[in-house]
Amino acid sequence: MRIPFIAGNWKMNTTATQAEELVQNMLDRLDKIEDVEKVLCPPFVSLVTVKELLKGSSIKLGAQNMHFEIKGAYTGEISPLMLSELCEFVILGHSERRGYFGETDEIVNKKIKAALQNKLKPILCVGERLEENEAGRTKTVIGRQLSQGLKNIEPTHNLVVAYEPIWAIGSGKAASGEQAAVTIRFIRDTLVKLWNKEIAQDLRILYGGSVTSHNITEFISQPEIDGALVGGSSLKAGDFLDIANQAAAIKHRHLSSPLKGEE
């Protein structure tokens, strides 16, 4: 059984002081939510502060990006080695990195390799643009992002994949649970082909894109969807707690009555 996974991507929001406040506002209640892996991904400058606050709790820490080199003359960059002392996860291939910073599948591939080599667990984001979706190219785009992004990488359990249709990110227009489940099933099938069935069935595949406390049940109640990567709604303690609580409750209900098709 895959443990549900709820991660908050704070993007370029919160000063270190605000980050501390946000964590304080959810720490105790988030800590108590069981059987859901809970991950916070604050900006780099708040990683140390948040790491200290999360010490001894069940909440894990992630970064939002990194360079693929371990060290060197890359002014302004943060390396996987630096992150390995601070956090367990790192978001890679986010559409904002691909779109605004020119990250290609080749760069994402280098970053995934470097993360794994430095004991970081990548949260690999894939997703199609609106035009690609409308042209029926979703599977082609995502198939390419997966095969190129994971090229020459040995199968590993230390990966989480997030399906984030670009048209749904920050737009308030989430995909439907069914739409997301169809694509996530395709992602799992692709992982079976690229790697193997055993690993593909164990990996968590999340949905991301305008997830809120009002629509999380639609996603999490789909057997194929193992959790969510949450942007905007992770910046409000109450909303993020609500999302994590609902994820825990629904997956528990499924645990006590086998999921359709998984009896």
List contacts with ligand PEP (CB under 6 A): 9, 164, 169-170, 208-211, 229-232
- Residue 204: CB minimum distance to ligand PEP, A: 15
Q: Percentages helix, strand, coil for the chain, rounded to the nearest 5? A: 50, 15, 40
Q: How many CA atoms lie within 13 A of 6 on its CB side?
A: 30
**Residue 179 three-state SS:** helix
Q: How many CA atoms lie within 13 A of 243 on its CB side?
A: 32
Instruction: Name which of 195 and 241 has its Cβ closer to ligand PEP.
Output: 241
**Residue 13 three-state SS:** coil
Instruction: Name which of 63 and 230 has its Cβ closer to ligand PEP.
Output: 230
Is residue 164 annotated as a catalytic residue, yes or no? yes
Instruction: Name which of 170 and 258 has its Cβ closer to ligand PEP.
Output: 170
65 Cβ contact list (under 8 Å, min separation 6): 78, 90, 91, 92, 94, 97
Which of 96, 103, 128, 164 is the catalytic position? 164
- Residue 207: CB minimum distance to ligand PEP, A: 9
- Residue 209: CB minimum distance to ligand PEP, A: 5
What is the token pair recorded at 239? Answer: 């909303």
- Residue 214: CB minimum distance to ligand PEP, A: 13
CA distances from 181 to 88, 95, 154, 184, 243 (A): 27, 19, 26, 5, 18
- Residue 126: CB minimum distance to ligand PEP, A: 12
Instruction: Name which of 68 and 207 has its Cβ closer to ligand PEP.
Output: 207
Instruction: Name which of 9 and 133 has its Cβ closer to ligand PEP.
Output: 9
Locus of tokens 């303690």 = 237
Residue nearest to ligand PEP (CB): 231
Nearest alpha carbon to residue 156 among 186, 115, 185: 115
Which of 94, 96, 103, 218 is the catalytic position? 94
User: Catalytic residues, which ones?
Assistant: 94, 164
